[in-house]
């Protein structure tokens, strides 16, 4: 039973911070593997020239839910791993429990894929009980943090975010990890966190903070808890911990949340990040600025300073090369600072890279995994991003150090 972040893990966090300060970060073999896959040229030569240097944490390198390529997301262990790999900023996606306590989960209704809840007595609280696959109907379940108390949340263990929707049993449903990830660490690396505990942990690790206020799965207000109460409570937990505004980049896909922070908490709102999910809006096309509503200039007029689209919206391809997209150019022309997501969230790129590489699919297919650093280079140098989320921060940390990005 997991009641709080254990003393052992706090010591591990302190050890990770000490290692980073004394001996540099630990990158492992992956950055070098990716560089080996690159086509010969100036960028590959530059990256190879940095192989023997000492590496340091960088604010350009942002841990996306920690390091979930190999560790269960939003766990202590995942974030310690991300800090060891030099992520200078760490993320807690924020949602709330039935007793309105803030916890780190990617969604209010993802406990069935990110924790062991279906294998515990708390499965009785799930809004959609596990239903096995039958014929063409996939297996189903839905379990929400808003259906359990914080005390109950603490009894759960994180797992790799996955589900096998062809499964006939709970055990089979929970065992769906992609074959390019691993369950190697999941059995003993799933310590869940409250938002306040993430603040304490990240501070110990020497990292800064980028919490994301997640859209509730329940109708708001929730038992008197309004959307603005929810947005305010996130900021209040940084204020209570004495974290200065310049160390926090609060995020939301809901523009109203961002505008609330700008209005009600202007110091923290100055770095509020509008996560741009308008790719889901009919008629929106990142390659056509006339379809942006609101426009980039209108966002700036509202006080927005940071915008964060997925990587594919910022790039396109010409003559086999990756180049900035019209979206990227429009954001820069309006004076917006750009953060983007998410590197290392796709499997091998030889098949095109999937959703995150959709605007440069021919390049990904042609270059395979070597395209990853090509993409990162264009985002950093030509688009001018401030930072990038990654599921395996070592990849970005290597590039940031080699290119002198703090």
Q: Would the pLDDT of 312 be above 60?
A: yes
In whole numbers, what is the pLDDT of the chain averaged over residues? Answer: 95
Q: Would the pLDDT of 280 be above 60?
A: yes
CATH of the domain at 327: 3.20.20.190
Mutual orientation of helices 195-204 and 7-23 as an angle, nearest 10°?
40
362 in the same domain as 281: yes
| Mean pLDDT of the 45-62 span | 97
245 in the same domain as 118: no
Residue 26, domain member (yes or no)? yes
pLDDT, tens digit (0-9, with 9 covering 90-100), for 265-278: 999 999 999 999 99
**pLDDT tier at 5 (50, 70, 90 boundaries)?**
low
283 in the same domain as 138: no
Q: Which of 15-24, 99-108, 171-180, 191-200 has the lowest mean pLDDT?
A: 15-24
pLDDT score recorded for residue 53:
93
Q: Would the pLDDT of 16 be above 60?
A: no
123 in the same domain as 90: no
Burial call 141-179: b when 16+ CB within 10 Å, e when fewer: bbbbbbbbebebbbbbbbbbbbbbeebeebebbbebbee
Q: Would the pLDDT of 3 be above 50?
A: no
- Which spans in 60-122 are helix H? 76-84, 111-114
Residue 187, domain member (yes or no)? no
Strands (E) in 74-169, as ranges, are 87-90, 93-96, 102-104, 128-131, 140-142
Residue 182, domain member (yes or no)? no
Residue 152, domain member (yes or no)? no
| Mean pLDDT of the 239-249 span | 98
Q: Would the pLDDT of 11 be above 90?
A: no
239 in the same domain as 168: no
List the one residue out of 312, 316, 357, 375 whose CA is nearest residue 38.
Answer: 375
**pLDDT tier at 21 (50, 70, 90 boundaries)?**
very low
Domain count along the chain: 2
Stronger pLDDT, 8 or 267, i.e. the higher one? 267
Residue 183, domain member (yes or no)? no
394 in the same domain as 259: yes
What is the C-alpha to C-alpha distance for residues 383 and 388, in angstroms, rounded to an integer?
A: 12
pLDDT score recorded for residue 12:
54
**pLDDT tier at 187 (50, 70, 90 boundaries)?**
confident
Containing structural domain, residue 56: 7-98+192-402
Residue-wise DSSP of 282-350: TT--TT-GGG-SS-HHHHHHTT--EEE-BGGGGEEEETTEEEE-HHHHHHHHHT-EEEEEEET-SS-GG
pLDDT score recorded for residue 1:
39
Q: Would the pLDDT of 153 be above 50?
A: yes
Residue 122, domain member (yes or no)? yes
pLDDT score recorded for residue 189:
84
337 in the same domain as 281: yes
158: helix, strand or coil:
strand
pLDDT score recorded for residue 22:
37
Beta bridge pairs of residue 273: 251, 306
pLDDT score recorded for residue 406:
85
289 in the same domain as 337: yes
41 in the same domain as 91: yes
pLDDT, tens digit (0-9, with 9 covering 90-100), for 315-370: 999 999 999 999 999 999 999 999 999 999 999 999 999 999 999 999 999 999 99
Residue 134, domain member (yes or no)? yes
């Amino acid at each position: 039973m997991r009641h709080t972040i254990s003393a052992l893990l706090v010591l591990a966090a302190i050890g990770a911070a000490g290692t980073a300060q004394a001996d540099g970060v630990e990158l492992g073999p992956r950055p070098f593997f990716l560089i080996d896959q690159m086509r010969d040229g100036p960028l590959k030569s530059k990256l190879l020239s940095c192989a023997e240097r000492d590496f340091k944490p960088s604010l350009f390198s942002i841990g996306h839910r920690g390091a979930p390529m190999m560790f269960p997301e939003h766990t202590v262990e995942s974030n310690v791993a991300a800090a060891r790999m030099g992520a200078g900023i760490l993320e807690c996606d924020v949602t709330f429990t039935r007793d309105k306590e803030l916890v780190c989960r990617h969604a209010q209704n993802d406990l069935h894929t990110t924790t062991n809840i279906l294998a515990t007595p708390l499965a009785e609280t799930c809004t959609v009980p596990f239903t096995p696959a039958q014929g063409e109907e996939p297996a189903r379940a839905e379990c929400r943090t808003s259906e359990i108390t914080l005390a109950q949340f603490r009894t759960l263990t994180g797992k790799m975010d996955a589900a096998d929707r062809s499964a006939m049993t709970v055990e089979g449903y929970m065992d769906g990890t992609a074959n390019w990830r691993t369950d190697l660490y999941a059995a003993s690396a799933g310590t869940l966190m409250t938002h306040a505990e993430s603040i304490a942990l990240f501070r110990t690790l020497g990292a800064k903070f980028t919490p994301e206020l997640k859209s509730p799965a329940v109708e708001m207000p929730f038992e008197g808890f309004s959307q603005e109460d929810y947005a305010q409570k996130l900021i209040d937990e940084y204020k209570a911990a004495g974290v200065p505004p310049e160390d926090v980049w609060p995020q939301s896909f809901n523009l109203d949340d961002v505008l609330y922070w700008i209005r009600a908490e202007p110091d923290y709102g100055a770095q509020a990040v509008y996560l741009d999910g308008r790719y889901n809006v009919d008629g929106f096309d990142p390659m056509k600025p006339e379809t942006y509503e609101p426009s980039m200039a209108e966002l700036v007029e509202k006080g927005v300073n940071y915008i964060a689209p997925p990587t594919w919206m910022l790039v396109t391809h010409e003559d086999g090369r990756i180049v900035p997209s019209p979206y990227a150019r429009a954001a820069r022309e309006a004076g917006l600072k750009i953060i983007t997501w998410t590197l290392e969230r796709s499997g091998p790129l030889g098949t095109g890279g999937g959703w995150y590489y959709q605007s440069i699919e021919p390049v990904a297919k042609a270059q395979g995994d070597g395209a990853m650093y090509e993409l990162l280079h264009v985002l950093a140098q030509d688009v001018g991003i401030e930072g990038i989320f990654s599921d395996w921060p070592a990849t970005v940390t290597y590039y940031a150090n080699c290119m002198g990005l703090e």
